[in-house]
């Protein structure tokens, strides 16, 4: 039983470490946070249980692909300090998988949330509540800062010790 709990700990640490070190993972998490906030806090969108399941699936695919992409990048960097065609192909293919999943997630979001009436309600809500509009704008500013600055010095990638701290992106 202890090994099972340890394995969950390792998995959560992998998610957390990727969130800390990878800007694209922070983009995915910020987009998900906004989407679920608008879906669960406000009552503008009509979403069925099946549609929620599709949104969850799309989000899980993007996050899983980003985790795999990070693992591939780190493994390639660990395997060789030299740039190789195979290393480049591995990294590019993993990044392409993330892109495919992200496009699927956006298309799913548009299909489920492309509700003109909901966006009109949202517009009128913010027009009638300028204080909430200000809160939203400030949250966008903070989210943008978080995406690009992350967790400060902890968000910088760990240097590749084989190269004396110089990153070799294939």
- Enzyme catalytic residues: 66
Kindly state the DSSP code that residue 81 receives in the 8-state scheme. S
Contact between residue 64 and residue 57 where contact means Cβ atoms under 8 Å apart = no
How far is the CA of 112 from the CAs of 13, 31, 137, 149, in angstroms?
32, 15, 24, 31
Centroid of chain to Cα 137: 20
What does the alpha-carbon distance between residue 124 and residue 73 come to, in Å, rounded to a whole number?
45
What does the alpha-carbon distance between residue 9 and residue 17 come to, in Å, rounded to a whole number?
12
What does the alpha-carbon distance between residue 73 and residue 95 come to, in Å, rounded to a whole number?
9
20 token code pair: 């800390």
Strands (E), the chain: none
């Amino acid at each position: 039983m202890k090994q099972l709990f340890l394995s969950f700990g390792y998995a959560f640490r992998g998610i957390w470490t990727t969130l800390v070190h990878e800007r694209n993972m922070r983009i995915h998490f910020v987009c998900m946070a906004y989407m679920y906030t608008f879906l669960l806090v406000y009552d503008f969108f009509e979403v069925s249980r099946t549609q929620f399941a599709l949104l969850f699936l799309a989000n899980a695919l993007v996050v899983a692909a980003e985790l795999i992409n990070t693992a591939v990048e780190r493994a390639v960097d660990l395997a060789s300090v030299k740039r190789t065609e195979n290393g480049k192909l591995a990294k590019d293919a993993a990044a392409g998988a993330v892109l495919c999943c992200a496009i699927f997630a956006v298309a799913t979001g548009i299909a489920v949330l492309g509700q003109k009436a909901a966006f009109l309600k949202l517009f009128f809500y913010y027009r009638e509540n300028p204080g909430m509009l200000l809160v939203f704008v400030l949250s966008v500013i903070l989210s943008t800062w978080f995406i690009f600055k992350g967790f400060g010095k902890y968000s910088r990638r760990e240097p590749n010790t084989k190269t004396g701290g110089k990153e070799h992106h294939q």
